[in-house]
A and B are shown apart, each in its own frame.
Chain A
Amino acid sequence: MSNPTRRTFLVTAAAGLAGTALPQTDNLPVAFRKLRPMTDGIQPIIVAERAGRLEKARKLMRENRINAVVMESGSSAFYFTGSRAAGAVLLFSQGDPVPVAASGGIAKALKDGGVSTGRVGVEERVRFEMVDAIGKDLPALEFTSADPVTAGCRMTKSPAELALMQRANDITIACYRAAFASLREGMTQHEISAYIGAGYKLLGVEGDAMVSFGMYTAFPHGSIQPQKLREGDFVLIDDGCRVEGYQSDITRTVIFGKPTQRQRDVWELERKAQNAALAAARPGATCESVDTAARKVITDAGFGPGYKLPGLPHRTGHGIGLDGHEWPYLVRGNKRRMEPGMCFSDEPMIAIYGEFGVRLEDCMYITEDGARTFTKQSPAIDQPFG
């Protein structure tokens, strides 16, 4: 369930609690010290592919009667321009993207582009102050969501994008292998989190991890409570890294020591739920049907129903690409049909507050024949990697 801002919070918190910055290489567990860059042969997105994206965006703008699109620096702007420079980027129905350095210049740039009336699509993360300022200068404009254009392009991934995501997934597995090999009784969740951050650097990328132990594994996004690893705890590690901006997002829940029967049963159930979502995902399936498939497994075992605890408190998954969470979402009510090239996390979790939680998360991409995972699913409660 990656989420860059949450990651930042947890890593900062880790540094604060440990009273230290990221560990030096010398202080890393041996499994981490062996990590080497896995960045050879990475192929960034080429100019021709970006041109194709712009062509598609302009087509979607026409179809949705959107005269211009306003984006701030961020994933969508990067997707179309390859740049993360500060400021704004405008798309028009013709011509190249127009960068605008100062936010005060957007209204003028729109006017210069011939758009002072009609509908302007606003990228979802654009801040209110920007929209407010444009509206003051050009009161005849109507602001609408740019999602039909931005999400419309970004939702389906090209082979080049899938290759970058594959690499990000492979790197995350390498880092997690080192992490699970390094678990020792008494460690704090922040220590492991910091090791993983350092491990990603050794692997040649940036990435983060959320780590929870024991009863805190029930918290989908972790807890601020200090935790020390003890025999019999579940260890949950989540999040991922970025390769050319493309994100991985993997969760493993593994027993430290000997599992109880209860832990085994819930882990097996979680794995079945994850399988059910994977089996349901294919071209033409609605996004909500995949959530329903996973949730049914969990509900049939007596958990829930719905989002009720103990059970599956959140959606089964999210789209993933340049953002760790993006459209489309595997959630009840989402009737969108899956298409080849779409990428999703598959992560129904089972949360039992006061006991533990289990989440297994692998990302999948849709092909003509069905869904395939970027990574091998965890085969057993004590085996995180297939």
Chain B
Amino acid sequence: MPQANSEPTFAGRIERLREAMKEFGLQAVVIEPGPAMQYLTGVRWGRSERTFALVVPLKGVLGFVLPGFEEMRAKELIHSGAEIRVWQEDESPYQLVAQMLKDRGVTAGRVGIDPSVRFFIYDGVKKLAPGLTYVSAQQVLKSAGVDTSSPAARR
């Protein structure tokens, strides 16, 4: 299959998002599978009840939090040199997202949430990282040109 989007393209898109984050005062953005994740990383994944999240910190390496038993399948798709942390079925994915934020120095301030993130994920993370302020990432994504609808965002 032809790959329209190469990795340098994704790196450029992340860079552009980070510039917008700086402008909007966001320490990190949390994204669920969907057009935004695909546009930024090329990772196309179906949403389910099992949390699969992308954390884009202002500083530091990108991180994915995903189900342990999906690691092999996910690694077929994630080529960006991102950090992958896995949660097992009886563990909390929200704990991993909260820890990932903390490890990247995000302990205060504003975190952008992809507007399409489902409530249970936002609620789960918020309970474990209550010191952060959660705001919609809609404007920052838009400003960074993150196309959340166009087929151009697809591989």
Contacts and interface: CB of A to CB of B under 8 A. Distances in A.
B102 interface: no
B120 interface: yes
Nearest to A1: B48
Contacts of A127: 115-119
Contact of B89 (A9, A132, A307): A307
Interface string B1-15: 100000000000000
A313 B123 CA distance: 26
Contact of A123 (B44, B68, B119, B122): B119
A219 B72 contact: yes
Q: Which of A131, A318, A331, A332 has the most CB of B within 10 A?
A: A131
A332 to B, nearest CB: 4
Contacts of A7: 46
B136 interface: yes
Given A128-B122, A223-B76, A331 B116 contact: no
Interface in A204-231: 219-225
A149 to B, nearest CB: 14
A105 interface: no
A9 B46 contact: yes
Given A5-B47, A6-B48, A307 B88 contact: yes
Nearest to B115: A129
Contacts of A126: 118-119
Interface string B80-93: 00000000111000
Contact of B136 (A17, A132, A221, A313): A132
B122 A220 contact: no
Interface in B100-155: 113-120, 122-123, 134-136, 138
B69 interface: yes
B23 interface: no
B76 A224 contact: yes
B116 A3 contact: no
A219 B89 contact: no
A170 interface: no
A129 B135 CA distance: 9
A5 B135 CA distance: 26
A125 interface: yes
Nearest to A125: B118
Nearest to A325: B49
Interface in A8-51: 8-9, 16-17
A128 B72 CA distance: 29
Range of interface residues on A (Cβ < 8 Å)? 35 or more
A144 B124 CA distance: 10
A145 interface: yes
Given A5-B47, A16-B1, A307-B68, A223 B73 contact: yes
Contacts of B135: 132
A368 to B, nearest CB: 29
A128 B115 contact: yes
A48 to B, nearest CB: 30
Given A128-B114, A132-B135, A313-B68, A332 B90 contact: yes
Nearest to B126: A143
Given A5-B48, A332-B90, 20 more contacts: A4-B46, A122-B119, A122-B123, A125-B118, A125-B119, A125-B120, A126-B118, A127-B115, A127-B119, A128-B117, A131-B119, A132-B135, A145-B123, A219-B73, A307-B69, A307-B88, A313-B69, A318-B49, A331-B90, A332-B89
Q: Nearest 9 A-B pairs (CB), nearest first? A: A5-B46, A129-B115, A313-B69, A6-B46, A332-B90, A124-B120, A333-B90, A128-B117, A315-B89
Interface of A: 3-9, 16-17, 122-129, 131-132, 143-145, 219-225, 306-307, 313-315, 318, 325-326, 331-333, 351, 353
13 contacts: A7-B46, A9-B44, A124-B120, A127-B117, A127-B118, A219-B73, A220-B73, A223-B73, A224-B73, A307-B68, A307-B69, A307-B88, A325-B48
